[in-house]
Each structure stands twice: as structure tokens, then as C-alpha cells.
Structure 1
Amino acid sequence: MLCSPSSLSHHQRTSRLSVSMATPLATRGLPLASRGPPSSSSSSSWPPSSILLGRRPSRRLRSSSPQVDAAAAPEKGGEYRPSFADNLLLAFFRSKMVEEVGWDSEKPGYAGLMEVANRLMVKGKSASETEQAAVRVLQSLFPPLLLVLYKALLAPIANGQLASMMLARATALSCQWLMGTCSVNSVTLPDGKSWSSGVFVEKCKYLEESKCLGICINTCKLPTQTFFKDHMGVDLYMEPNFEDYSCQFNFGVPPPPLDADKALKEPCLDICTNARRRRELGRNIVTDELSCPQV
């Protein structure tokens, strides 16, 4: 059947209108990737990769936490902070010193311990008597049988090397509450051998807080050397540095004679109040007379 031009024109217009209306309806149910490109006003790269992969466009998130300044971070080392166990050791040591002195300070903690140490220093009629009292305090810290067995069984092994190395590690581990930060190091013996039986104290708190060379010598250095030799069978030579307050423990090294020990010939500490007063009263005093009167 032939159609007239007018009817054909009307038929074509109707078909085009139907197609134009059906096209968007058909594409609504299709995924985004199957749709045609947008108009020329859109971006030239179509479709975006995030749409092709089925992901939402990502955003960069800024952290709200402040940046850490490396210079403000706490440094390693520094002053030793005692733990709960250290406080127990301090209380135990102080109680033994109080038993020897027969007097206790009203001050708590380390400050009270230093007052008891000063009283121990004053109580002795001589430096030798003070040293013997300090040795008794050290003895009371250990079970008597332990000291006997250590001296008889461990001290003779390998000419004392094992016992010296054990004591160095025990000292560095258990005495930082008293002396401050310390570490094990190597020492040279008189025969030239090297043992890792030394303990280096960076800055002795006992010396710094006492402010007295005599307290260091008579209640720490000399009695400690005597205690380890006589009651544990191990030689010990302690070398305190009265300028920077460090101290070197040399386990396995015998101490020199008293008249040759340089620590006993040092003048009073600059921080000693008695020494400062003596210097103010007598500026013409010779060096020998400035030596600590407590040594």
C-alpha cells in the first residue's frame, strides 16, 4: 500500500518523536559505563577512571593530630628515676643504717637517708671507726650464709673472674637507686688482662647529695672495698672523680695502699659548706691544710 507524502511525513515525525522519547528511558536502567559521553561542555576525558572501576572519587584527608617535633622528644639517659622496687631497697638500706646509728631522720626518702649518713659520720670517733660501722651495715644487708658460700665456692673460680663479673652486674642492676645511672664496662687487671667486671657510675647521687668528700671516703669507698674483700673474697678498687662526681668500680683489681690512694689526698669539694667557710676565713691556707678534715 502506497502512502501519500503528507501521511509519510506525519509517520516519520511520529517515529522520530517515539525514538527520542524512548532513548533516555532505555538508558536509565543501564550502568554508567554504557551511557554515552556528556556534552561538549564536560571534561574531555570521559568516563573518569573512578567511575569505570565502580568507585567513588577519593579525597585526601588531613590528619588533625599535631606533628611531633623531634627536638621536643625526651632524650635517652638523664637522671635515673627510681622504681617501686628501688624505693623498697632504699627503705631497707636506711633501716639497717638506722639500726647502726641508733637515730633516724624525720625527712622521708633519700634526703632522710643522707641525714642518717651524716649522723653515722659524726658518731664515729675516728675515720677507722666510721669505716667499720659502715662495713657492719653492708654485712647486715646479706644473709650470713650467702656471704660464706660466695667467698668459699665462687670467689676462687678462674682466679676470681667469675665472682668479679657477677658482682659487677649485680651492682649495676641493684644499686642505681643509691648511685644513679651506671653501666658495666671492662677493666684492666695488674697483669694486663681485661675483664668485663667494671661498673661506671655516670654521676654518683650519694656523693652529690652528701656534698662531702669525707662521707664518700669513710662511709662508701673504703668500707665497700673492705666488705667485698673480707666477706666475699673479691678485690675491689673504687675510683671516685670529685670533679664530675662519676665513679669507677674495678672488681678484681686490688686497691692501692692508703698512702698511695689519690682519692684520699683530694681537697674538700667545692660544694662543701664547711670547706667554703674555711676558704673565706683563711685565704692564706696552704693546699695541704685544705684537705678534707674528715678523711
Structure 2
Amino acid sequence: MAYLLLVTSIVFSGSASPQPSFPRSLALARRVRCRRVSDSSEVLKSDEGASKLEYKRGILDDFFMQSFRNKLVEEVGSDSEKPGYVGLIELVKLLLLKSRTRSETSDAAVRILKSLFPPLILELYKLLIAPIAQGKIAALMVARVTVLTCQWLMGPCKVNVIDLPNGESWDSGVLVERCQYLEESKCVGVCINTCKLPTQTFFKDYMGVPLLMEPNFKDYSCQFKFGVAPPEDDGNVNEPCLETCSIAGRRKLNSGVCPMA
């Protein structure tokens, strides 16, 4: 989910708030299987046998993760007993499970994203930066800040050139080589409802930057396209459930569509 952008905004958003304990009964009832993310920069093998790219976190990355986790705890109402990235993903899954509808999950994720930014910064960015050069400057800026501040969440990524519907090409894309958020959650619903849809909504509505995210559920890569609006009929939201999904389990539909998406 989502996902952190501006270092100054995170700093302004404040220190950690007290975290209530995660109810053991709920934890047992909704147990999820997640692998611990290594702090090394080694390339490991995932359960599916593909190379797993590891990002070596720094001091600021740990601060970003804790800030994000604190906001998740506030929204969910409890904390995971697991530390680090594994506990973070468990909280994201709990956010998905406690919501009754897709829109309810997405709205909660948008609230978390908004809470990471002082309102004035978002309003000023949308008012003063987003309109410059038909949105190009704002799109280029957020692409670079994303790479600088969000690799702890998504894994290794880089700025790349994307094609716009009008035929122009901007270097306002971000290619996530292998998204650890998706790989650790192993859930299409988590990707779509706590990351893709709310992140697209957040950038468009609160920063004035259109965004199309194109996750690849086969190789776990993801292409961010800042400056490109999502199509009305987005096929990504109807992807089949992953075979390794620990949330859907026996609730998979006959059609194969992920019941959590």
C-alpha cells in the first residue's frame, strides 16, 4: 500500500504513537504466512524459484517503515506481534480482511496516505506545481522522489521513459523490478485494493498527478506511469487469485477471479 513520497512530509507527520497489542485470537484466526525480509543486498530465491531482489535498508528507510506502520495501526486498531516488514504485511492483510467492500479498503488506504502528509503541502503541490507544463514537472518530480524514498517498501526500482496517450514520451515512469509488497503478501487483492487503486486515487485527487500502475502478477514487476490516467476498464482489477495466496484459500471463485480483489 501503499506508499511514502516526501521525506519532509514524513518528518512533519510526527513521532510514533502508542501501539495496542494484536489480539491473539484474531491473529490465530487470520494467520498469514509471510517470509522475513532480509536486510542484506543479496539475491535470494523465492518460493516459486525466481530470483528475489533484496533492498538494503538505511536509517531513513527504517523511519519510513515505522511511520507507515504507526498509521496502519491507527486505522486497523491493533498491531501485529511480528516485527519489521513481515509485521507490516500482516497489518496490510488485516486491513483488507476487516473491510467489507473494495471501496472501503481503498478509502482506508487513501486516508493512511493522506495522514502521512501535512494538508498544506498537498494543497500547495496540487495548486502550484501540478499545473506547470501541463503536469510534466509534477510527474517527473514524484517519479524521482518515489525512487529515492520508497524502495524499502517496493524493492529495487528505477526511473524510466513512458509513452503518453498523446504520443509524447516522458521520463516520469518508475519500474519496480520485483515488488516485494506483492511478493510478500502473495495476494492480488492486497495489491489492487491497498496499493494500486488507492495510490492512483491519492495522486490524482490530492496531488493533481494522474497515475496508472500496471502490476505484473507473473513476474511481480510493476510499472508506474505518472502523468497517465487509468483507463475506465482496467483489466488488472479482475486478475485471477495467485496460487500461493494465503488469504483467499478455499474462497477462490469458480471463475478463478480473486475473491479479495
**TM-score for the superposition, normalised by structure 1:** 0.69
In structure 1, the partner of 2:72 is: 97
What is the DSSP-based 3-state SS (H/G/I as helix, E as strand, rest coil) of the residue aligned with 1:196?
strand
Structure 2 match to 1:116:
91
User: Do the aligned partners of 2:123 and 2:207 also contact (CA within 8 Å) in 1?
Assistant: yes
Letter in 1 for 2:203: F
Deviates most, 261-270 or 236-245: 261-270
Identity level (%): 60
| Partner in structure 1 of residue 150 of structure 2 | 175
Could you tell me how far apart the structure 2 residues matched to 1:104 and 1:246 are? 29
Task: Answer whether contact 1:179 1:206 (CA < 8 A) is retained.
Answer: yes
Q: Which has the higher contact order (CA 8 A, sep 6+)?
A: 2
Correspondent of 1:130 among 88, 105, 118: 105
The answer to whether the 8 A contact 2:140-2:171 is kept is yes
Aligned partner of 1:240: which letter?
P
Letter in 2 for 1:171: T
Query: Does the aligned pair in 2 maintain the 1:187–1:198 contact within 8 Å?
Result: yes
Once the two structures are superposed, the pairs formed by residues 146-225 of structure 1 within 5 Å of their partners are: 146-225=121-200
Q: Residue 293 of structure 1 corresponds to which residue in structure 2?
A: 259
> What is the SS of the residue equivalent to 2:230?
coil
1:71 aligned partner: none
| Over 3 Å off, 4+ runs | 273-279
Which of residues 186, 210, 216 in structure 2 aligns to 1:241? 216
Shift of 1:222: 0.1
Query: Shift of the alpha carbon at 1:262?
Result: 1.4
Paired residue for 1:228?
203
SS at match of 2:165: coil
In structure 1, the gaps of 5 or more residues are 1-73, 280-284
Deviation at 1:101, TM superposition (A): 1.1
> Is 2:220 the partner of 1:254?
no
Q: TM-score, normalised by structure 2?
A: 0.78
AA in 2 matched with 1:107:
K
Paired AA for residue 197 in structure 1: S
Q: Give the superposed CA RMSD.
A: 1.7
What is the Cα deviation at residue 78 of structure 1?
4.2
Superposed CA deviations along residues 123-174 of structure 1, whole A, max 9, x for unmatched, are 2111100000000000011111000000000000000000000000000110
CA offsets, 1:195-246, max 9 Å, x none? Answer: 0000000010110111110010000000000000000000000000000000
Structure 2 unaligned spans of 5+: 1-41, 44-51
The letter for the 2-side match of 1:131 is S
Name the larger-Rg structure: 1
Q: How far does the alpha carbon of each residue in 1:169-206 deviate from its partner, in whole angstroms, 9 at most, with x for none?
A: 00011000000000000111110000000000001011
Counterparts of 2:249 and 2:81, CA distance in 1: 27
Determine the structure 1 residue equivalent to 2:9.
none
Q: Which amino acid aligns with 1:273?
A: S
The residue type equivalent to 1:293 in the other structure is P
Match in the other structure for 2:244: 271
Kindly tell me the number of residue pairs found equivalent between the two proteins. Answer: 212
Counterpart of 1:90 in 2: which secondary structure? helix
